[in-house]
C-alpha cells in the first residue's frame, strides 16, 4: 500500500488504520478490531 493509505478508516469499524512493516511487507492494521490489510 502507498503512503496515501495512511489514516484510511478501517472498512470494518471506521477507526483510522495504523501502518506496520512485517518481514518487509508494509501492512495496514486496525488497532481496535485487529483487522489486517496489505
Average pLDDT over every residue of 32-37: 92
Q: What's the Cα-to-Cα distance from 10 to each of 4, 20, 25, rounded to whole Å?
A: 14, 15, 19
Identify the domain containing residue 11 by its residue range. 3-37
Domain count, the chain: 1
Q: For position 37, what pLDDT does the model report? A: 83
Q: For position 1, what pLDDT does the model report? A: 46
Amino acid at each position: 500500500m502507498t503512503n496515501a493509505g495512511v489514516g484510511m478508516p478501517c472498512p470494518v469499524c471506521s477507526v483510522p488504520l495504523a501502518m506496520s512493516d512485517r518481514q518487509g511487507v508494509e501492512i495496514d492494521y486496525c488497532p481496535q478490531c485487529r483487522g489486517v490489510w496489505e
